[in-house]
Structure 1
């Protein structure tokens, strides 16, 4: 789905989405096509959902957005260090 379709179908919601088609340019990640995984009433539930799905599927590109946003561009930040699994 395109972001505009998600906004139209789920106004004023927090959504957990998976990037289906995305591109990067100058450290900006642009999502062109996404799949809705879940929608939520509040940000804490959305982040809990993100953590749950990310733990199960760490290779999937997941994001949480509020549908009041006009775009879904993100600045890419690269992690260099050691991550500890809990």
Structure 2
């Protein structure tokens, strides 16, 4: 799928997508082929928690949480060193 297909299929929803084909240009990820992993209507908290769970289990997969109201996927590539995140009050295991 491409981003326009995802937006049409899942309007106004939070989705977890996986990049199947992607490359970097000028510090931005250009995603040419996408698969939808899960959808969450308007529940961004559940989407983020599911993304964290999936990322811990499958670190090799390139996944993102995005809302389909975005006209384009504007994903800036960032390198993180020594950063840990903790979400209190949620069981994400």
TM-score by length of 2: 0.83
The aligned length equals 84
Aligned Cα RMSD in Å? 1.5
Over 6 Å off, 4+ runs: none
TM-score, with length taken from structure 1:
0.90
Could you list the runs of 5+ residues in structure 1 that have no partner in the other structure? none
Partner of 1:12: 12
User: Secondary structure of 1:79's match?
Assistant: coil
Structure 2 portions without partners, runs of 5+: 86-93
1:37 equivalent in structure 2: 37
Which residue of 1 is the match for residue 60 of structure 2?
Answer: 59
Name the structure where strand makes up a greater proportion of residues.
1
